[in-house]
Structure 1
């Protein structure tokens, strides 16, 4: 089937698979401009979303967006764009669905880490995009999300073609097209690998990694250990980036810390696991990263 084409400024039909914090955030914001359908994993949440829409709490203000919700995936093939907003460990179930869908509908994957790239090879979609999310969000209930911090969505073409004139966003919720998907994902994965496991183990907010001198020394040591694995990344620029994230989100808790607190499964395998696999391929020793990985996995087992 031919790939869909739209006018750049036209209203689109956008499907969002996953109705956690990121799915609700994107559904709420994109629903201001487009016709959005959410695909949650339970019928109960679908009923609630159809009745109440999505409420986005943004600082002292909030807004509500009415959306459609479909827990059966029956309307997936009628979308102009599908955004996959589930955690990486939930992707196998989603890709099973996508394998049976219209290959002409572009799909955008918004996962942390880089382990999901191998799954994308098996999909029939002609255009596949990958993205990184700079927003902070917390799901408060099945229809409400708190927008903890504003950023942007970086997207890049993994396969096929993407018309950069396609208007997805508002100024308050921007999308930026990047030229190199691998470098884009690696930068985000690296930052997450340095910040998230430490905050999870220390039970610390992001800003404490640079404010507390004892934490800061460990933070720098983990950074240097992982930076040695990726000579294509500029150490100076990446150090500015990871410390900048900590300062700009100083009062935020990382998603990994939130998962540990809830006793939920974390994305440690997708994030730090990728770094350990890279180290193993290079026969490099990364004792600090390895210790952090085992500690987070131990907290998962305890939960």
Structure 2
């Protein structure tokens, strides 16, 4: 694909992140196709358009093409925004698309890039880390939850599409930078989610409660510290970067105090969570490194109990 040619973009997954991303792309002048699983959602988006509710309450409506048959679409790049538990299925859908397009993973958790690279080839994979918050309000509406940063780069380091994607999102008003070490960036964000998501989901509290309650703060800090030790053992983060993960997690709690984490929202709606690609991934890697991670292991066990319906009351006992 010539660098001067426009990129044909598909967004696979129309949850909160997918809708927010698609709205940003359309606002920058891109032609975007939302690739969804449910015919009901496709019909709703066609009828109502894609509606973005800004932090000031203003509603913006964007026209967007929608398809419930991703395999039939010919695009140059697919932005994968599905949950980590659906990454392998998404990779197989992309592999079946005409020409096997490149993919940009805009997902939470560890291991998404590895799954996509294994099925599509590492040269086709880019990774993205976003701190832009969003909440899905309906099949066609998404509420923006403040500004943040988007970091993009190739799975193998540099990628010819990274700068072009940065320019596209910058045009939409997003704060974007390109990184040649996305494994490091993915881990830095994962440390934040490893501390916040399971603690808020288990105790059914917004992010700010981790700062207000010493018991929750202690658990979240310990989970991040253990994960940082694993990242060090893998050679992904330095000792200073791993240590900084704790402070970064607490800063995010402060900046998003009223927010309800994605894992909490999943638990409240009875959906499967991404615990396996966060704390669960830490435990698996720690076992290979012979590093003890008792706090992360306990958090995984409690979330699994909730998913299985074995917990009563506000949290597992």
CA drift of 1:259 comes to: 0.5
Q: Distance in 2 between matches of 1:270 and 1:223?
A: 14
**Equivalent residues in 2 for 1:123-272, closer than 5 Å:** 123-124=120-121, 126-159=123-156, 161-166=159-164, 167-169=167-169, 170=171, 172-231=173-232, 232-233=237-238, 234-272=241-279
Q: Secondary structure at the match of 1:145?
A: strand
Match of residue 82 from structure 2: 86
Q: Distance in 1 between matches of 2:86 and 2:218?
A: 35
Q: Return the match for 1:20 from 15, 24, 34.
A: 15
Q: TM-score, normalised by structure 1?
A: 0.91
Match of residue 56 from structure 1: 52
Q: In structure 2, do the counterparts of structure 1 residues 298 and 55 end up closer, same or farther at CA, with 3 Å as the change threshold? A: same
Residue 35, structure 1, aligned to residue 36, structure 2:
no
Q: Secondary structure at the match of 2:244?
A: helix
- Contact in 2 for aligned 1:103/1:126 (Cα 8 Å): no
- Contact in 1 for aligned 2:103/2:125 (Cα 8 Å): yes
Q: Distance in 2 between matches of 1:124 and 1:278?
A: 23
Q: Distance in 2 between matches of 1:243 and 1:194?
A: 9
Q: In structure 2, do the counterparts of structure 1 residues 225 and 124 end up closer, same or farther at CA, with 3 Å as the change threshold? A: closer
CA drift of 1:75 comes to: 5.0
- Contact in 1 for aligned 2:151/2:179 (Cα 8 Å): yes
Q: TM-score, normalised by structure 2?
A: 0.87
**Equivalent residues in 2 for 1:69-84, closer than 5 Å:** 69-73=66-70, 76-77=73-74, 79-84=75-80
Of 267-276 and 67-76, deviating more is 67-76
Q: Distance in 1 between matches of 2:86 and 2:3?
A: 30
Structure 1 unaligned blocks of 5 or more: none
Residue 105, structure 1, aligned to residue 106, structure 2:
no
Q: In structure 2, do the counterparts of structure 1 residues 235 and 128 end up closer, same or farther at CA, with 3 Å as the change threshold? A: closer
Match of residue 315 from structure 2: none
What does the per-residue CA deviation read over 1:136-168, in whole Å, with 9 as the maximum and x for residues that have no partner? Answer: 111111110111222122112014732454121
Q: Secondary structure at the match of 2:3?
A: coil
Q: Distance in 1 between matches of 2:14 and 2:143?
A: 13
- Contact in 2 for aligned 1:127/1:162 (Cα 8 Å): no
What does the per-residue CA deviation read over 1:212-238, in whole Å, with 9 as the maximum and x for residues that have no partner? Answer: 233222332333333222323424422
Q: Distance in 1 between matches of 2:66 and 2:81?
A: 14
